[in-house]
Structure 1
Amino acid sequence: MNPYIKNSIQIIVSTLAFCSITAQAESQFSLGGGVISTSSPYAGTDNKTLVLPMITYEGERLSLRGLSLDYKLLEDDGVNWSLVLEPGDNFDTSDSDLAAIKALNDRKLSLYAGTQVSYSAGFGKITASATHDVIGHGDGAKFKTNYSYPIKLSKQLMLVPSVGVELNSSDISNYYYGVAQGESSTYAPYKLSSTVNYNAGLFLMYYINKNWNANAMFNYKQLDSDIEDSPIIDTDYSTTFMMSVNYRF
């Protein structure tokens, strides 16, 4: 699966995680489809527009949101503690138009396992997670925190702004954005330390009726300056725009 799909799914997963709480669905399954336009920071890559299915399952303890699993260990008075399994990054170098990028090694898919804690109250929702790559591609740790606040504009319309911070260990940063010794005859070796990325997003949900809802989402990620300085990166940000329709059983 190419990096555009993976990056888009990651954002959709986090969005659906919040919407599963605010939607107050009476059943556990939701099916739908979405159109996504997303950019990649790697040099020589273009924006992609994709059509993707969306499947969610909300059980008493186990939840499936896209390609992410969440097993709830504790739920008490707005506090949730869970174990999580979620996909990470990847980059197929053949997606670039530049020969120098195509000659690099692919950055393969990572899979992160770890724990997540969230707290929901009148001021919004705060989420923090700590995960580690269990496949051994990035072979490092990732720490994320996010704040979102639902604003009910009308009986049928809800707006959810959010901001977040993502800390990647040096192993992850180097694997995805660095250039290893001897990897390229064009680019000099480039090594990174740990990196910090910032996210800001808006999610809009419209309840058509009891079962159907339509959604729109925009997400902006500001990349760490060390990532921007990498010779294989040509922008300091990435964006994703999504529109979807979902049916809850």
Structure 2
Amino acid sequence: MISRRNMGILIAALLPLSPAMAMADSGDFSVGAMGIYATSIYKDTDSDTKVLPFVAYTGEHFYLKGPELGYNFLPNHSKRNIGVGLGYHFAEFDPDDSDDKNIQKLDDRDDSVMAIMHAKIGFFSAKLAQDISDTNRGYYAEVGAGYPIQVQKWRLIPSIHYRYMSSEMSDYQLGISSSEAAKTSGAISAYNAPSTTMTRVTLNSFYPITQSLTVNLSATYVKYNSNVLDSPIVEKDHKSIARAGIIYKF
């Protein structure tokens, strides 16, 4: 069974695949496996390396892109589009992942389901997501751009995304309630996290071995607003994800 942290790593690693999936032909169904290396912003939490599976689908209007299932009102291959969907949002903080004994006493954060509205114009995209599972009760807004470059057989897609997270969503991931602080006998202070932002930069690459089989390599760097360092459970304002995978398209 895939653990909560492994699921989070998988979701974070699948996000950079979205620009490539959006350009896929209608009716594409893909399966694959990925080797993923990911660091963490949380205190005394080691980097992790795993091999995990994934499934993706691009139809005429419906799509499955990593943790997101949705419907575009125009055909998926359209250069301009608007759509709606549901997304699985992983609560990145898991107290059990930390080696700090006091952090391990904190409450688990539950995953959430987000209602999503999104739009694209050419290589530019925008997204608004609201929690509908009554978990973090917050929302995020994101804008981004990705541009494909063909270098011989390699398809390179550099991209950048900027995300604003509401105070409710940010506090759920970074904040500490008074009851949690009491569990640590004050070793970890109560903290209400404000809204925050993050910038994600990715270089994604695809190399076709055959018409159906493709190698995927990518590197992602995520930089948070420096206010995340005010949280007593955070030690870094950045993290990195590297991925190597094999994709088979039916």
TM-score clears 0.5:
yes
Residue pairs, 1:122-137, within 5 angstroms: 125-137=123-135
The answer for the alignment partner of 2:147 in structure 1 is 149
Residue pairs, 1:40-189, within 5 angstroms: 40-75=40-75, 78-90=79-91, 91-120=93-122, 125-154=123-152, 156-184=153-181, 185=185, 186-189=187-190
Kept in 2: contact 1:4–1:40 (CA 8 A) = no
Alpha-carbon distance, 1:245 to partner = 0.5
Alpha-carbon distance, 1:57 to partner = 1.2
Residues of 1 paired with 2:117 and 2:228: CA distance? 26
Kept in 2: contact 1:10–1:87 (CA 8 A) = no
- Tell me, what secondary structure is at the counterpart of 2:188? coil
Kept in 2: contact 1:10–1:88 (CA 8 A) = no
* Structure 1 residues 27 and 89: CA distance shift in structure 2, 3 A: closer
Residues of 2 paired with 1:29 and 1:77: CA distance? 18
Q: Which amino acid aligns with 1:231?
A: P
The answer for the alignment partner of 2:212 in structure 1 is 211
Alpha-carbon distance, 1:4 to partner = 4.5
Alpha-carbon distance, 1:11 to partner = 3.6
After the TM superposition, list the runs of 4 or more consecutive aligned residues in structure 1 that deviate by more than 6 angstroms. Answer: none
Residues of 2 paired with 1:100 and 1:246: CA distance? 41
Deviations 1:114-142 (A, max 9, x none): 2000112xxxx111000101112211111
User: What is the root-mean-square deviation in Å for CA atoms of aligned residues?
Assistant: 1.6
| Structure 1: gaps spanning 5 or more residues | none
Residue pairs, 1:190-201, within 5 angstroms: 190-201=191-202
Residues of 1 paired with 2:196 and 2:26: CA distance? 41
Q: Which amino acid aligns with 2:73?
A: L
Matched, 1:35 2:35: yes
Q: Which amino acid aligns with 1:211?
A: S
Deviations 1:133-191 (A, max 9, x none): 1112211111111111111011x211111111010000011111011123123111111
- Tell me, what secondary structure is at the counterpart of 2:43? coil
Kept in 2: contact 1:158–1:205 (CA 8 A) = yes
Kept in 2: contact 1:8–1:240 (CA 8 A) = no
Residues of 2 paired with 1:15 and 1:234: CA distance? 25
What TM-score comes out, normalization by structure 1 length? 0.92
| Structure 2: gaps spanning 5 or more residues | none
Deviations 1:56-97 (A, max 9, x none): 111111111233202112359511111121122312211110
- Tell me, what secondary structure is at the counterpart of 2:236? coil
Residues of 2 paired with 1:181 and 1:113: CA distance? 30
Number of aligned pairs? 242
What TM-score comes out, normalization by structure 2 length? 0.91
